[in-house]
Chain A
Amino acid sequence: DAGVTQSPTHLIKTRGQQVTLRCSPKSGHDTVSWYQQALGQGPQFIFQYYEEEERQRGNFPDRFSGHQFPNYSSELNVNALLLGDSALYLCASSGTRISEQYFGPGTRLTVT
């Protein structure tokens, strides 16, 4: 079992550009959550996908959008990048047992 995987590992973008981050959940998990973690801070919840729909959303602007595919993998899209979007983006998956939430290694996004 590969656990939760994320790609790419690192990414450098310019202000105003768009970015797509990808996540594959742990085998057997059907729910994917995305978090933004600024340096030295705790993870901030962006949104959660279940059955290909956004089920919950944190306090993030519409520039942040996502998608979940039939195989439960997920994408996070960020449009019109700002310098403040530079962060570690974490994906976490969970299953029917709510006690499970496993994190991926993260994608480090740098916006210049």
Chain B
Amino acid sequence: DTGVSQDPRHKITKRGQNVTFRCDPISEHNRLYWYRQTLGQGPEFLTYFQNEAQLEKSRLLSDRFSAERPKGSFSTLEIQRTEQGDSAMYLCASSLVWEYRGEETQYFGPGTRLLVL
């Protein structure tokens, strides 16, 4: 399977615990995005990487959230001291950006569904 993969697919945790999610993008893709999606809403941008550089972070990304992409391949998203409001689907997407054309197609992974009790 050469698509975007995410692990775990589901996570149940207690409030206050830390959780970490992993995303493996399509191998040749240089961009990697993290989104959060709640029921009935579109994906909300959290942050993205171009290769290993984190280029932008949304205001939604509080200090409890941190993302890394150490070698420009897989990425991790950590949430510290989880709160019930963090319950959502966390989606990862990757793309190959042709900067001079300003075009991009993002390929989404299956997501990690987080439930904070």
The answer to whether A and B come from one shared complex is no
